[in-house]
Every structure is written in structure tokens, then in C-alpha cells.
Copies of this chain bind each other. A is one copy, B any other.
Amino acid sequence: MTATRAIGVDWGTTTFRAFRFDEHGTVLEARRAEAGIRAIDDGDFEGALEHLVGDWLDAADASPVVLSGMIGSRQGWIEAPYLPCPADLGDLADALVPLDLGRGRRVHVAPGLSCHDAGGVPDVMRGEEVQILGTIDCLGAGSATLCLPGTHSKWAWVEGRRVTGFATYMTGEVFDVLRRHTILGTTIEHAAWDQAAFGDGVARAAEAEGGGLLHQLFGVRASGLFGELSPETSGAFLSGLIIGHELRAALAGHRGGPVHLIGEEGLVRLYRAALAHFKIEAIEGPSDAAARGLGVLTAYLRERSIA
């Protein structure tokens, strides 16, 4: 097997994904386990790491080892303080928190990013910054708008390989609790999907005088009473409505150009369709942005001989 020259781990709340890299940051091998930080007993993260990738760690010159994601949160192994934006690859590398383990080993825990929005309210990300690094590596210099859809969707703005700011939207989680725990759920057939209804929901969100999200949510209920939405179409309409509100807010100050979508295939497809309603081109980001970002970060550290 090709010699491991670095290791990166995307260690989230529910999932552990590890990659071993060559000296250029190219992935040689990947592993995945349902060993997110919530699943680790007694805080024995060192034991878990040893168990999952001990053979990689044993290899000569297998450094640096970079861990990103919730492992660096207050609930994780060690808290790596959020790095304020604007920030680039070098800033992120400088903000890594080294942690010395037994047997002369050392790992580096990635910080998340923080910023403040126009109203002065803080925002944070942890883990996504590595996906953004991977995407910037694809895009090269220049300005770009990135969107990472999900439970907490992240929009990030990039200028010349530097993250200038970002904003989080609780889109996925809000959709989930609305359809599971409110009156809207009683008339949704969860297994059904209707793409046209999804588009109608996005269009509804985009209306200038739509009355706001809280009103439009009740409209899903009332439309059901009048037979304008069915149990088979209500879920997709609701999804479109909520994603549409995210897009409407995130695109309010959009400076033009495409939006780079980074994430799971199904979500990327949905967001692409929603963006089309706003006449915005969508470009798919790298298929494994986290792996690519960890590769970029470890290669950078090797160049600077930080291990």
C-alpha cells in the first residue's frame, strides 16, 4: 500500500469519517464508522481513534493528523475556539489546536469559524469550514457564493480563497419538526414526493407580498382543507416553502454569479431546482469536499513542516 503521509478525520456528532493521504493531500483510502462523538463512551476519544485507524497511525511518517468537526466542540475531545472570519487556509492552519497523545503521537484539532451578521448577531460553523477549503481548492481564486444545504444550511462567501463571512439557516431542522410535531404533519403522507408541489412551495416563498413564513405555514393547512394540497403533495410543498425562505433571505444581497452547492446528492438536486426559481445557476461542488479540504490542510501543514 502507498505510504500514508497524512491523516484527516471528519469527526461529527453521529459519524466518523477518516482518510489517509499521500504527500499531496490525495486520498489513498477512506473509512467510515457510526462513531460520532455522541457514541464515544466516557470521552475515550483516543481509544476510539486508535481502534478505528490505529494501523494508519502506526505507519512511519503518518503525520500530520487533523481532526475536524464536532470533535473540536465543547462536547468533543478538546475545544478548539472558533476562528473569526475573514479567514483562509493559513489562518485555519495557524488556529489548529495540537493535542499530544500517548506513544509520541500528536493530533491537530481544527477550529470552527465564526462571524457576525449585519445585525451584529454571531454565527458559527464547525466542520463545514473544511468542506469550504476543499471547494475553494477546486474553484481557485476569485469570488464565490457557496451553499451547504442540510439540517443547518450554511451559506458562505469567498473572496480570493478567503472566507469573508457566512450565514446559517435552520432549514432542515425546522422542516423536520414542522412535519413531525405540528398540525401540518397530520395531513402529510411522508413517503410521498411531488416535484411540482415543491416548485409551488418555492414560488410561494418568493412572493413579495406573501405574508411571511409563519402565515404561509398555516396556508399549507388551509390549502389542504380546500383540496388545493393533498397528503401526497403537502410535504413537498412545505419543503419548497421552507427552502424557498432560506434562499430568499440568503440571496437578498446576492452579488450575482452562480451558487456552488456542496452536499448530499438529493439535497443538491432540490436546491438546484429551488435556485432555478430565483434564476440563479447552481454548480455542484466537489463530491467529497470534506476529504478534499482535509487533504489541502494536511498538505499545507506538511509543506510548512507542522506536524
Contact = CB atoms under 8 A, between A and B. Distances in A.
Interface in A14-42: none
A121 interface: yes
Contact of A178 (B123, B177, B216, B242): B177
A269 interface: no
Interface in A245-259: 245-246, 248-250, 252-253
Contacts of A119: 204, 207, 209-211
Given A121-B216, A122-B226, 15 more contacts: A117-B219, A119-B204, A121-B204, A122-B222, A123-B219, A169-B212, A170-B214, A171-B214, A174-B182, A177-B178, A177-B181, A212-B245, A212-B246, A212-B249, A214-B249
25 contacts: A118-B210, A119-B210, A121-B204, A122-B225, A122-B226, A122-B228, A123-B218, A167-B211, A167-B215, A168-B222, A169-B214, A169-B215, A169-B218, A174-B178, A174-B182, A177-B177, A180-B181, A181-B181, A211-B249, A212-B252, A213-B214, A213-B245, A214-B245, A215-B246, A215-B250
